[in-house]
Structure 1
Amino acid sequence: MKKSTLLHLRIPFSFFLLPVFLLALSVSDSINDSNTLLSFFILHLLLYPASNGYNSYFDKDEGSIGGLRNPPKVSKELYWTSLVIDLLALVLGMWISIEFVIMIFIYGIISKAYSHPAIRLKKYPIIGWLAAGIFQGYFTFLLSYIAINDVDLIDTFNWSIQIPGILSSLLLLGSYPMTQIYQHEEDAKRGDITISQKLGILGTFHFTTFTFFLSSVGFFSYFQFQFSMTDGLLFLLAMTPVLAYFGWWYLQVRKNHINADFTSTMRLNLISSLMLNGFFIYLWLS
């Protein structure tokens, strides 16, 4: 495998998507250990990297992208590697359930439609934004939950499971535009119109602030009702470093829009992922 292919799979970037899986784990009642380990492997080391590689192949970015400051040129090997990894995810998923396989197949189709030139959801600001937020949030939460608990999809149709799934999408719908804030010029060159472009740089910050507030209130209410007031307050405490960095960065961007850059975006992703992952692991262990 070429080094460029491996880099474009962006396997470490899966850490930023881990909170949804850990949220599903933390609210699970009957954990199937083997399914949990296998579904973790399939999602974070196969499905997500395959999606990254496939999208990179068609995007052919020259500027920074999520997880890669200086992306190397792509080759046909990246295209075929991403498809092979996708197929391996489906085959391994058979050890969990048919429903799980169908759901990761649907996820793979939507992720491919995001960048494939024949459809390219990325060029539609609202549709692309909704697709990313719903499928990386709510949809992934449900497929993780059915794997972890070895249950059917219909068993997730109760509010104690639906609410955290919906809240995970709300959080992603708010944070996703922030991942596009430094790519306005690159996206415009390809004719893509993202939600962040529509909102503008400061508008993206304002929109994220609003949705972050809504999702935080929602998570606090859910955790204090489903678990305890202490857990609800601990969630808010875990989000404090994220809010502090976000506020500091916003002030820097107000001074000069050039500060809405790749490095700052990756720092925000890292801080938020660390705090969310840490809180959900605490909730699972407790």
Structure 2
Amino acid sequence: MTQLIDKNTLKLLRVPFSLFLMPLFLLALSQSGVYILSVYVLISFFIIHFLVYPSSNGYNSYIDKDEDSIGGLEKPPMPTKKLYYLTLVLDVLALLLAYFLVSPLFALCILMYMLASRAYSSKEIRLKKYPYIGFLVVVFFQGAFTYYTCYAGITGHALELNKPALFLLLAGSFQIAGAYPLTQIYQHQQDLRDGVITISYKLGYAGTFIFTGIMFTITNVCYFIYFNLTGKLNNFYLVQIFFIPIVAYYIYWFVKVLQDTKAANFKHTMYMNLVAAICMNSCFLVLYSIN
């Protein structure tokens, strides 16, 4: 195992980047009805954020061999075969732990997420090169499906797909639909060199921000309906407070990009991700504490 690990290989797993992917897990935790940090919660958190996400990041880096900035790394090192083998080890470990320590349903969800992630990046299928199909795959699997997977891991059983739950799943997917194009906005030229046309490139710089604004508005409507249906409208108003810094930075960055498209760069993208992650993670932790 130690022969698979070196400094650059570990760096390409981008484990700290899991912070940006944590909100849906914490949202699921806050709405799960599980108010004690059970073994299920801890194990599923570890599997998702320290095995599944890093493996997905590593596989993407191995396939793309990025020379320019990628999410979480301004100057990524060149990957080696070690990275590929390490992602396989992480995948197998994640599946075994999910199956034997949580539930077969959780393991099945993890497997489906892995397959979608591989199909997105692999040279053979390469869904990421199709702007609309690739976008929809990400929106579903990193949004509603991730929420469902997290809920299954946290509780040990399936989410009941009633009306409130469906609106919450929609909120998760529209949230990703808004955030994802912004994460691509600084990579237009790098993606084109790799034969990838992203949804952000199709929308353009201003169009990406407008599209994101529309998606987040729809997300907020879904949150309102969900909390109204569950009789917890006060929680919706609390969410709005945590959204204020996100909206403020979004407007600030949008104005800068309108003035000069060079502002659509790695630094501002990572700041946007960081502000959103801190606010949303904090928000859902507060909701969990209130519950």
Q: Which bracket does the TM-score occupy, shorter chain normalised?
A: over 0.9
**8 Å Cα contact 2:186/2:266 also seen in 1:** yes
- Kindly tell me the number of residue pairs found equivalent between the two proteins: 284
Instruction: Provide the residue aligned with 2:69 in structure 1.
Output: 64
**8 Å Cα contact 1:202/1:254 also seen in 2:** yes
Deviation at 1:227, TM superposition (A): 4.4
Q: How does 1:58-207 map to 2 (within 5 A)?
A: 58-94=63-99, 95-151=101-157, 153=158, 155-207=159-211
> Structure 2: which 5+ runs fail to align?
none
**8 Å Cα contact 1:246/1:268 also seen in 2:** yes
Instruction: Output the CA distance in 1 between the equivalents of 2:149 and 2:105.
Output: 8
**8 Å Cα contact 1:220/1:235 also seen in 2:** no
- CA offsets 1:58-84 (integer angstroms, 9 cap, x no match): 011111000000001110000000111
Identity %: 44
Question: Quick one: which amino acid aligns to residue 161 of structure 2?
Answer: F
Report SS of the residue matched to 1:237.
helix
Deviation at 1:29, TM superposition (A): 1.9
Instruction: Output the CA distance in 2 between the equivalents of 1:176 and 1:83.
Output: 26
> Structure 1: which 5+ runs fail to align?
none
Instruction: Provide the residue aligned with 2:235 in structure 1.
Output: 231
Instruction: Output the CA distance in 1 between the equivalents of 2:33 and 2:256.
Output: 44
**8 Å Cα contact 1:27/1:161 also seen in 2:** no
**8 Å Cα contact 2:106/2:156 also seen in 1:** no
Q: Give runs of ≥4 in structure 1 deviating > 3 Å.
A: none
Deviation at 1:230, TM superposition (A): 2.3
Which stretch of structure 1 is more off in the superposition, 35-44 or 92-101? 92-101
Instruction: Provide the residue aligned with 2:225 in structure 1.
Output: 221
**8 Å Cα contact 2:142/2:173 also seen in 1:** yes
Instruction: Provide the residue aligned with 1:242 in structure 2.
Output: 246
RMSD: 1.2
With structure 1 as the length reference, what TM-score do the two structures score?
Answer: 0.96
Instruction: Output the CA distance in 1 between the equivalents of 2:27 and 2:263.
Output: 32
Deviation at 1:278, TM superposition (A): 0.7
Instruction: Output the CA distance in 1 between the equivalents of 2:188 and 2:34.
Output: 44
**8 Å Cα contact 1:50/1:85 also seen in 2:** yes
Report SS of the residue matched to 1:200.
helix
With structure 2 as the length reference, what TM-score do the two structures score?
Answer: 0.95
Question: Quick one: which amino acid aligns to residue 164 of structure 2?
Answer: S
Instruction: Provide the residue aligned with 2:40 in structure 1.
Output: 35
- Which residue of 47, 53, 61 maps to 2:58? 53
Report SS of the residue matched to 1:156.
coil
Question: Quick one: which amino acid aligns to residue 259 of structure 1?
Answer: A
Instruction: Output the CA distance in 1 between the equivalents of 2:32 and 2:49.
Output: 19
Which stretch of structure 1 is more off in the superposition, 142-151 or 242-251? 142-151
Instruction: Provide the residue aligned with 1:2 in structure 2.
Output: 6
**8 Å Cα contact 2:62/2:79 also seen in 1:** yes
Instruction: Output the CA distance in 1 between the equivalents of 2:18 and 2:204.
Output: 27
Deviation at 1:156, TM superposition (A): 2.1
Instruction: Output the CA distance in 2 between the equivalents of 1:67 and 1:266.
Output: 7
Deviation at 1:30, TM superposition (A): 4.1
Instruction: Provide the residue aligned with 1:251 in structure 2.
Output: 255
Instruction: Output the CA distance in 2 between the equivalents of 1:279 and 1:210.
Output: 21
